[in-house]
Amino acid sequence: MTAQVATVDHVKQVCINVRPASDEELPSPYIDEFRGTLADELSKYVGETYPKGTCAVYCISGKDAEGPGADFEFVIVISAAKYSPQNFCNGRWQSIWNVDFKDDPQLVEIKGKILVGSHYFEEGNVHLDAKNEFKDSTIFQSPEDCAASITNIICHIETEFMASLEASYVHLPDTTFKDLRRKLPVTRTLFPWHNTLQFSLTRDITRELEIGQ
């Protein structure tokens, strides 16, 4: 933890100012032990799972707690992206987790959502946007045990979600893409859009009704 506050211009995507964090902005040593241990454990998981991925853990509630007997809450952000315009594809993974430490029932509640987006644009323009929300819980333990349990839960959920996406990809040609394609007529031949003059609805109706004969 660098104990610094950065001001970022999100439009220009540059950092325009950095200053030391004040004591009021920093969590207490008790809270920061949980936060730091969890951040370290998650960094190992993200480094092994997501190429060029990154993660961060922030305390959004109860940061002034000096010891057991208080509730506090963290937000975990995991982000990874791969941009390859020369290969006509880009992709992004983002997951956000709210981790609520409840002292009285000695419980840690975990609520998260995963957002996945990809864009393929070689000879076409295909987008994939997938998202889902999840809930789980674990026992309120020591900082090390909590970090391991929370990381294992996130790892399990994200792995299952990724597996479900891969399973859907396997069936795309026979399901989604098949429904998007134009069905062949009963003749099993494509309609000759380049030479529609050979068809005449008036002529066909006249022949069927024997008009003028």
Going residue by residue through the chain, which has 213 residues, state the pLDDT in tens, using 9 for 90 and above: 678 899 999 999 899 999 998 888 899 999 999 999 999 999 999 999 998 899 999 999 999 999 999 999 999 999 999 988 888 889 999 999 999 999 999 999 999 999 999 888 877 787 888 999 999 999 999 999 999 999 999 999 999 999 998 887 777 666 666 665 555 666 666 666 666 555 565 566 566 556 555
Position 186 scores a pLDDT of 65
How far apart (Å, rounded) are the C-alpha atoms in residues 146 and 113?
20
User: How many CA atoms, within 13 angstroms, populate the side-chain half-sphere of residue 129?
Assistant: 1
How far apart (Å, rounded) are the C-alpha atoms in residues 173 and 193?
25
Residues in the chain: 213
**Top-level class of domain 25-183:** alpha beta
